[in-house]
Amino acid sequence: MTNDSILSLTAFDDDALDKAFAALEQQAREAAAKIDGPEAVEAFRLEWLGRKQGRLTGVSGRWLKSAPAEAKKALGVRFNALKAKVEELLELAAGAGPNDAALKAEAIDITLPGTRRLTGAEHPITRTLNEIVSVFAALGYSVGVGPEVETDFYNFESMNFPPGHPARDTQDTLVVASQERRPQRDRLLLRTHTSPVQMRTMEQQPPPVRIVIPGKVHRNDAADATHSPIFHQVEGLCVDAHITFSDLKGTLDHAMKALFGSAVKTRFFPSFFPFTEPSADVQISCIFCGGKGCRKCKQSGWIELLGCGMVDPAVFAFAAEKQPAYDPTKVSGFAFGMGVERIAMMKYGISEIGQFYAGDVRFLGQFA
């Protein structure tokens, strides 16, 4: 149907306008009722709403232009109502058509299995670190934290590594450049252990102190199967009156049994650390062979796992400069430290430390 089929209006009173627009609405309803597919929907839209040949365009051109001024407002109100009805009919026809391709595209086949969303999991290092911390938290230890970029004083000097001491060579680290004008103790470096947090904690609070310190540390080490220049440690510090080496042995024996099973045994060998005296290396009975001897424990039945010792009085002397309660003649304490990656490698049977940092989802997915 073209615009030529639109009759001209000869009267513009309300009755004439109501009859004319009612007739057009009836025609639109009858045309919409016959729509049976996408092509018919498009044909209806062009017939009624087309910008050049649409019937409403013809009504606007003929009726509105020829209407006297006093009738234009009434005619415009009825025209807008008719246009809204035609658009509504078009929308209903387009949405209700059983053959509508868009509707089919949005349909959901409820017989298909749902999309399974992958859930994340703790990284094995994070999981192991949290397990270690939880063991000591159950013993009443709180968690201490501190900066990874430390001063030479907190990282070395306050831990009884004076400048030029040969023990510094075992913890060669990465130093921030262009600090030649600074005093030695104020120069910045990446911490080699979490021990600086021990000193910072003692400076801030008097004894008793019981803390574990998890965190990332850095050393200028060549990467191989068991070493990395970046790794994680958990250190512990206990300070109070009358703390003895027996307290240290009992604490670590309990911790190793909590981490590796009640059948695990511990033994202590003399060692050297600048910040503890006496110092010891801690070994546990091999968790792979039960102490009988295997390739992983080099047939010894024991695996070296961490270091520990009684806090050196010289360390307490540094703390006493700001917190006099750490008088080495009145308090004693012990400290220990363990590598998180080493324990994770033992717990999960991992032979290459680099797998922790490679970001291989296939490897990490085993721990989900």
Chain segment 283-302, per-residue pLDDT in tens? 999 888 888 888 888 889 89
Domain spans of the chain, in order of start: 3-106, 124-367
pLDDT at 1 over 50: no
Please report which confidence band the pLDDT of residue 117 belongs to, taking 50, 70 and 90 as the band edges. Answer: confident
What confidence score (pLDDT) does residue 276 get? 93
Residue 285: its H or E element: strand 276-285
Query: In angstroms, rounded to a whole number, what is the distance separating the alpha carbons of residues 69 and 213?
Result: 88
The CATH superfamily of 124-367 is Bira Bifunctional Protein; Domain 2 (3.30.930.10)
73 band by pLDDT with thresholds 50, 70 and 90: confident
Start-to-end C-alpha separation, the chain: 68
| Separation between Cα atoms, residue 89 and residue 124, nearest integer Å | 61
The sign one gets for the Cα dihedral 271, 243, 263, 255 is negative
pLDDT band at 69 (very low <50, low <70, confident <90, very high): confident
| 280 or 69: which leads in pLDDT | 280
CA–CA gap between residue 221 and residue 150 (Å, rounded): 18
Phi-psi region of 290 (alpha: psi -120 to 50; beta: other; left: phi over 0): left
Report the pLDDT value the prediction gives residue 111, as an integer from 0 to 100. Answer: 82
Q: Any idea which of 97-111, 147-161, 240-254 has the lowest mean pLDDT? A: 97-111
Position with higher pLDDT, 295 vs 310: 310
Residue with tokens 């969303």: 117
Residue 164 has pLDDT above 50, yes or no: yes
Whether residue 2 is predicted with pLDDT greater than 50 in this model: the reply is: no
Position 105 scores a pLDDT of 67
Given a cut of 80, whether residue 172 has pLDDT beyond it is no
Give the mean model confidence (pLDDT) for residues 239-264.
94
**Which of 240-244, 349-353, 357-361 has the highest average model confidence (pLDDT)?**
240-244
The residue among 361 and 255 whose pLDDT is bigger is: 255
Lowest mean pLDDT among 186-190, 306-310, 364-368: 364-368
Higher-pLDDT residue of 296 and 274 is 274
Least confident of 69-78, 95-104, 107-116, 345-354: 95-104
The residue with tokens 């363990």 is 338
pTM: 0.66
Residue 96 predicted with pLDDT over 60: no
357 Cβ neighbours under 8 A, 6+ residues apart: 228, 230
Average pLDDT, the chain: 86
What integer pLDDT is reported at residue 265 of this predicted model? Answer: 93
The residues, ordered by sequence, that sit 6+ positions from 187 with a Cβ below 8 Å of its Cβ are 151, 152, 175, 176, 179
pLDDT at 3: 53
- For residue 204, the Cα-to-chain-centroid distance in whole angstroms is 31
Q: Lowest mean pLDDT: which of 25-34, 167-176, 342-351?
A: 167-176
